[in-house]
Amino acid sequence: MARKKIAINVPLGREMQKVSIPEGQFLGSFLPKEMPVLEHPEAELQHAIHEAFETCGIIDKARPAAKACIVITDRTRPTPNHMIVPILLNALNALGVRDTDMTIIVGVGMHAPDSIEAIRQNVGKVVVDRVEVINSEPDNEEAMVLMGETSLGTPVEVDRRFAEADIKIGTGNVTPCMLAGWSGGGKIVLPGVVSRRTIYENHKRFTGILADLECGSLLGIMPPQNIVRADIDEAATKSGIDMVINTVLDTGNNLVAVRAGEHVSVHRAAIEKSLAYTEVRVPQAVDILVTGVGEVNYEVSLFQGGSRVCGGVDRYLNDGGTLIMANECREGIYEGFEHEEFREWMRQMPTPAKLRELTESLEIGGEKSCVLHAFSWLIHEKKCRIITVTDQMSQEELKEVHLDYAPNIQRAFDEASICHGNSASIAAMPFAALVLPTS
């Protein structure tokens, strides 16, 4: 007698793939809760920005000849910069700041620079034609200004064009983050517009925390435990940032909430708003976990999408289990400057303990090792198998970095089912990047 099956939809890029799962073995599909979207998103953005201009002193700083710098998230983030930036420019114009005195910096951190086409998609052609839009340059020492050190000793080396501006504004979107707890807030400064040295010194600090917690990532973990985030917040304050605009989006990237103002309070308020929709309770660890990244911007690479998935599921897979990850990987293994270096580290796949040594000695940059740690934890500590569903990386490419390949989600699931048998427990997280699993 055929077993009854249930069909689950999992996003891959901008499409949905269907997978059939035996009903009797299926614990459930863990999804972000439906979010009520704002009926008038542009009006809400305008109101939040104008209110923050008053509370953050922008009105007092704005004047003819005042220099303004707006730092925005790059192509790997879904922040609605195309809506936010024109409102900011017009509001600054109304206060006397000229377009010629404004600069927009794409805060790429250690990602490769955005192309002009990616920038146009990010902020819109009108903005690109109107004001100067440039990428940050973490390896350009001449472009950096030292603005002191954090209490942990991280040098705050910030892009000169931001450091020397009279008005400093940042954007961001708030979702769970495997290193900083949550994205958004001061992350637009660090790693956004700081030097490689600053990024490395900050990011290396994750190693000791994970050793204490005995887990694969810092997803959802905030200060005081998460000293990486505390250091980020302090660095952003030292940079002199006046205000941030942080958004909360639903799974369709519709605006659910906007918060604008002082970076720490705004960030925490956005997290509080998001938590009601992103927390999912997983009753037990499973043998097979079917996941999609669930946000097309994060599917830019194995690195970016993998960090969102592998960094959040380690507590919900049994030892020896199988993780199925649908990840478009349209820029291959890594969207950063040093994709071949990251590929080589993935080939080596050091143990988590070895990675801690390599990171603390700065032999590998923390922005790479924190993601590598998530893969390594699953592979070495939990003895898990990771099957990646993508048409942008080959079976050979994935095999050399210790991952398996499948052309579609059903094929991946069928292979995992053969391996684990008819008694395997199964769960799904189709939007893994947009949930915060709790046990």
Q: What is the pLDDT of the chain when averaged over all its residues? A: 95
Return the sign of the alpha-carbon dihedral for residues 424, 431, 222, 350.
positive
C-alpha span between 329 and 322 (Å, rounded): 20
Confidence bin at 282 (pLDDT 50/70/90): confident
Please give the domain boundaries of the chain with CATH numbers for all domains.
5-30+282-438 (3.90.226.30), 41-276 (3.40.50.11440)
* pLDDT-based confidence at residue 387 (cuts at 50, 70, 90): very high
Classify residue 98 by burial, with Cβ atoms within 10 Å: 0-12, 13-18, 19+.
middle
Average pLDDT over residues 84-107: 97
Q: Are 209 and 248 in contact (CB under 8 A)?
A: no
pLDDT of residue 216: 85
Q: How confident is the model at residue 88 (pLDDT cuts 50, 70, 90)?
A: very high
Residue with tokens 């910096």: 105
At residue 207, the pLDDT reads 86
- Does 329 score more than 70 pLDDT? yes
- Give which of 342, 176, 174 is closest to 264, Cα–Cα: 174
What's the pLDDT band for 45 if we cut at 50, 70, 90?
A: very high
Tell the residue number behind the tokens 């404004």, with chain if given.
102
Report the alpha-carbon distance of residue 225 to residue 112 in Å, rounded: 31
Q: How far is CA 50 from CA 44, 45, 79, 89, 93, in A?
A: 10, 8, 19, 12, 12
First to last CA, the chain: 35
Model confidence at 313, pLDDT cuts 50, 70, 90, reads confident
Is a pLDDT exceeding 60 seen at residue 1?
A: no
pLDDT at 338: 86
| pLDDT on residue 439 | 65
Long-range contacts of residues 207-215, Cβ cutoff 8 Å, at least 24 apart: 207/355, 207/356, 207/359, 207/360, 207/369, 207/373, 208/356, 210/352, 210/356, 210/373, 211/356, 215/314, 215/315, 215/377
195-235 pLDDT per residue, tens: 999 999 999 999 888 888 888 889 999 999 999 999 999 99
Residue 77 pLDDT grade (very low, low, confident, very high; cuts 50, 70, 90): very high
Asked if residue 74 has pLDDT above 80, the reply is yes
186: pLDDT strictly greater than 90: yes
The confidence score (pLDDT) of residue 437 equals 86
State how far the Cα of 231 lies from the Cα of 9, in Å rounded to an integer: 39
- As a whole number of angstroms, the distance between CA 176 and CA 181 comes to 6
* CA nearest to 266, candidates 356, 364, 188: 188
Residue range 17-39: mean pLDDT, rounded? 94
Q: Say whether pLDDT at 337 is over 90.
A: no
Q: How confident is the model at residue 240 (pLDDT cuts 50, 70, 90)?
A: very high
- Residue among 392, 253, 378, 397 nearest 324 (CA): 378
Average pLDDT value for residue range 419-431: 95
Mean pLDDT of 372-378: 94
**How far apart are the C-alpha atoms of 7 and 228, rounded to whole Å?**
40
Which tokens go with 299? Answer: 């599917």
Task: Decide if 186 contacts 264 (C-beta within 8 A).
Answer: yes
For residue 394, the model assigns a pLDDT of 96
pLDDT grade for 348, boundaries at 50, 70 and 90: very high
Rounded distance between C-alpha atoms, residue 201 and residue 184, angstroms: 20
Q: What is the pLDDT of residue 311?
A: 82
- What is the rounded average pLDDT of the residues 95-107? 97
Query: In a 10 Å sphere around its CB, with 0-12 CB exposed, 13-18 middle and 19+ buried, how is residue 121 labelled?
Result: middle
**Degrees to nearest 5, angle at CA 318 with 293 and 16:** 25
> CB–CB of 270/248 below 8 Å?
yes
* Res 147: pLDDT: 97
Strand partners, 290: 324, 428
Band the pLDDT of 336: cuts 50, 70, 90.
Answer: confident
Question: pLDDT > 90: what percent of the chain?
Answer: 89
Query: Residue 2's pLDDT is what?
Result: 63
Q: Residue 208's pLDDT is what? A: 86
What integer is the mean pLDDT of 352-375? 92
The predicted model scores a pTM of 0.93
Q: Percentage of residues in the chain with pLDDT exceeding 70?
A: 99
Over range 177-182, report the average pLDDT. 94
**Three-state SS string across the chain, please?**
CCCCEEEEEEEECCEEEEEEEEHHHEEEECCCCCCCCCCCHHHHHHHHHHHHHHHCCHHHHCCCCCCEEEEECCCCCCCCHHHHHHHHHHHHHHCCCCHHHEEEEECCCCECCCCHHHHHHHHCHHHHHHCEEEECCCCCHHHEEEEEECCCCCEEEEEHHHHCCCEEEEEEECCEECCCEECCHHHHCCCCCECHHHHHHHHCCHHHHHHHHCCCCCCCCCCCCCHHHHHHHHHHHHCCCCEEEEEEECCCCCEEEEEEECHHHHHHHHHHHHHHHHEEECCCCEEEEEEECCCHHHHHCHHHHHHHHHHHHHHHEEEEEEEEEECCCCCCCCCECCHHHHHHHHHHCCCHHHHHHHHHCCCCCHHHHHHHHHHHHHHHHCCCEEEEECCCCCHHHHHHCCCEEECCHHHHHHHHHHHHCCCCCEEEECCHHHCEEEC
